[in-house]
Amino acid sequence: MSHGHSSALAHHFDSLEQQREASTLGMWLFLVQEVMFFGGLFMTYMLYRWRDPEAFAAGSHDLNITLGLLNTVVLIASSLTMAMAVHSAQTSRRRPLIGYLTATGVLGLAFLVVKYFEYSAKWEHHLVPGPLFHFSEPAIGGRAEVFFSLYFAMTGMHALHMVIGIALLAWILRGAVRGRFDASYYNPVENFGLYWHFVDIVWIFLFPMLYLIGRHYHGGA
C-alpha cells in the first residue's frame, strides 16, 4: 500500500481509482433509491388520474403552462451548463468550471423563483389543498383537490431536491474556487452532475404529467 498519494485520497481506500469507483457506485445507488422515492408519488398519481381523468384534466388546465415551459427550458439549460462544468473539470480548466457551475446555480435559483410565483398564484386562487380549497368549476369542485394535493406534493418534493442541490452546488463551487478539481480528481463534480441531471429528469416527467394533460380541456361542456 503506497502512501505517496494525493491529498484527495481518503485513508481507507487503497487508490484514487478505488475511491472514484466507490463514490460513483454510491451516487448511482443513491439515485436508484430516489427513483423508488418519487416512484411512490408517481404510482399514486397514475392511479388517481385513471380513476377521475376529468378532474385531473380540469386541474391541469388551471396550471400555468407558460411558466411550466419556462422552467423546463431553464432546467434543461442548467443540465447543459452542468455537463459543461464536468467537462471543464475533466480538462482542468478552472475558470470555465467556476463559470459553468455558477451558471447552473443561477438557473437553479431562477427555477425556484418561478416556482415561488406559481405557488403564490395558487394560494391566491384558493387552489392549495386544505380548508381553504375551492375549485371554481362547479362540475368538478372538490374532485380537483386530489390533483392539487399531488401537484404540491410532487413539485414540492422536486423543489426540495433543487434546494438541496443548490446547497451542494455551493459546496462544490467552493472547492472549484479553491482549485481542488482537475483532470486527476474531478469525481465529486461528476457525481454531483449525476444528481443534478437526475433532478432535471424528474422534472421532465413532472411537466407533461402535471401541466400538459389539460391543454385541450374545455370544462363544463
Partner 1 sequence: MPFKIPFMPEQASSMAGEVDALTLYLVAMASFFTVLVAAMVIYFAIRYRRRSPDEVGGSFDNSALLEITWTVIPVLIVLFTFVWGARVAFRLYRPPADAVQYYVTGKQWMWKTQHPTGQREINELHVPLGQPVKLLMTSEDVIHSFFVPAFRVKADVLPGRYTSLWFTPTKTGRFHLFCAEYCGAEHSRMIGWVTVMEPEEYQAWLASVPTQGSPTAAGERLFAQLACHTCHQDAAGAKGPALGGLYGRPVALADGRTVLADESYLRESILNPAAKVVAGYEAVMPSFQGQVSEEGILELINYVKSLPAGGSASVAAASEGAL
Partner 2 sequence: MSRTGTAETNYLNAQHGLKSWLLTLDHKRIGLLYLMGVSFFFLLGGIFALLIRLELLTPQGDLVQPDTYNRLFSMHGIMMVFFFLIPAIPGVLGNFLIPIMIGTRDVAFPRLNLASWYIFMAGGSITLLGVLAGGVDTGWTFYPPYSSLYSATNVLTVGIGVFVNGFSSILTGLNFMVTIHRMRAPGMTWFRLPLFVWGHYATSFINVLGTPVIAITLLLLVLERAFHLGIFDATKGGDPVLFQHLFWFYSHPAVYIMILPSMAVISELIAAFTRKRVFGYHFVAFSSIGIAVLGFLVWGHHMFVSGQSVYAGTAFSLLTMLVAIPSAIKVFNWSFTLYQGSVSFDTPMLYALGFIGLFMIGGLTGVFLGTLGFDIHVHDTYFVVAHFHYVMVGGTIMGYLGGLHYWWPKITGRTYPEFWGRMSAMLVFVGFNLTFFPQFLLGYMGMPRRYHAYPEEWQVLNVLSTAGASVLGLGFLLPLGYLLWSLKYGKLAGKNPWGAKGLEWTTDSPPPTENFRDAPVVSEEAYDYAGAGHGDGGAPAPARAH
Residues in contact with partner 1 by the rule CB under 8 A = 52-55, 139-141, 143, 220
Q: Quick one: 127 or 144, whose CB is closer to partner 1? A: 144
Q: Which stretch binds partner 2 (CB under 8 A): 71-79, 99-107, 139-147, 164-172?
A: 139-147
32 binding partner 2? (CB under 8 A)? yes
Q: Give me the 140-159 binding string for partner 2, x by CB under 8 A, dash otherwise.
A: --xx-xx--xx--x---x--
Q: What gap in Å lies between CA 101 and CA 83, rounded to an integer?
A: 9
Instruction: State in angstroms the smallest separation of the CB of 29 from partner 1.
Output: 31
Q: Is 33 in the site for partner 2 (CB under 8 A)?
A: yes
| Residue 22 binding partner per list partner 1, partner 2, none, with a CB distance cut-off of 5 to 8 Å that depends on partner kind | partner 2
129 binds partner 2 (CB under 8 A): yes
The yes or no reply on residue 134 touching partner 2 (CB under 8 A) is no
Min dist. Cβ of residue 40 to partner 2 (A): 4
Residue type, 107: L
Q: Closest distance between partner 1 and the C-beta of residue 147, in Å? A: 13
Whose Cβ is closer to partner 2: residue 44's or residue 92's?
A: 44
Cα→Cα distances 82→13, 29, 100, 201, Å: 28, 21, 6, 14
Mapping DSSP onto H, E and C, the string for the chain reads CCCCCCCCCCCCCCCHHHHHHHHHHHHHHHHHHHHHHHHHHHHHHHHHHHHCHHHHHHHHHCCCHHHHHHHHHHHHHHHHHHHHHHHHHHCCCHHHHHHHHHHHHHHHHHHHHHHHHHHHHHHHCCCCCCCCCCCCCCCCHHHHHHHHHHHHHHHHHHHHHHHHHHHHHHHHHHHHHCCCCECCECHHHHHHHHHHHHHHHHHHHHHHHHHHCCCCCCCCC
Count of residues interacting with partner 2 (CB under 8 A): 40
Binding flag, residue 36, partner 2 (CB under 8 A)? yes
CA distance 195 to 200: 9
Binding mask 3-22 for partner 2 (x = CB under 8 A): -------xxxx----x--xx
Question: Where does this chain bind partner 2 (CB under 8 A)?
Answer: 1, 10-13, 18, 21-23, 25-26, 29-30, 32-34, 36-41, 43-44, 47-48, 51-52, 55, 129-131, 142-143, 145-146, 149-150, 153, 157
